[in-house]
Amino acid sequence: MSVTAGVNDTIIAVREKLRGKVGQTKVKRYWPGKAPEWAEEDKEEDVTMHKVVVLDKKDDPRLRRLAKTRTENREQAEIITTDQEEELNNQETKEEEERRRIKEKNLEREQGEDPFYVQKTERDTIVERKRLEAEEQLRKNMVLEDVETDDETNEAEEYEVWRTRDIARLKRERDSREAMLRARSCLLLQEEQEKSEEQAAHKIKQ
């Protein structure tokens, strides 16, 4: 009777949840590092599913043939890997040999340069090179001769000319300032005289 009562209680609880009724539930405390109960239940279910598959081994010709092909495939795979390793080793030795040959050639070139072919149009003879250098030197000399640099020879005269020009400029500026001051003072005197005359005329009228 207790078994059926437990089943009935669970059925009733499921129906209430489906209808939307919410009842009291007991909350389990979380403990760090400890898996919850529902996770343990899931693990047990997974394990049982894996245990269901059981093979009954009998003397089956298909299984023997399959095992034989697997062993042959393994042997072929091992042979292929050794062949590949040999090819890699051969390739590495060839690369090392090629590097060694290149280094030797570079050393030979450094010790003595190998002659190489130059086309006739690109050839530059010694006589032609000297002629071109002489023309270049003449051009440089002509440019240097065209520029007049007599500043160094007449330096004292140039200084005297500059000094007289500068003194004359300063004198002109001073004269113009003095003339402006004289004109301004004349204007001020004239204005004062006019004011005094106006005041005198104004006093006479009063």
What is the three-state SS of 101-134? HHHHHHHHHHHCCCCCCCCHHHCCCHHHHHHHHH
Write down the pLDDT at residue 162.
Answer: 92
Write down the pLDDT at residue 32.
Answer: 85
pLDDT at 164 over 60: yes
pLDDT by residue (tens digit) across 28-65?
777 888 877 777 665 555 555 555 445 555 678 888 88
CB–CB of 37/44 below 8 Å? no
Q: What is the pTM of this model?
A: 0.25
Write down the pLDDT at residue 52.
Answer: 47
pLDDT averaged over every residue in the chain: 78
Considering the chain, what percentage of its residues have pLDDT values greater than 90? 22
Ordered by start, the domain boundaries in the chain are 62-109
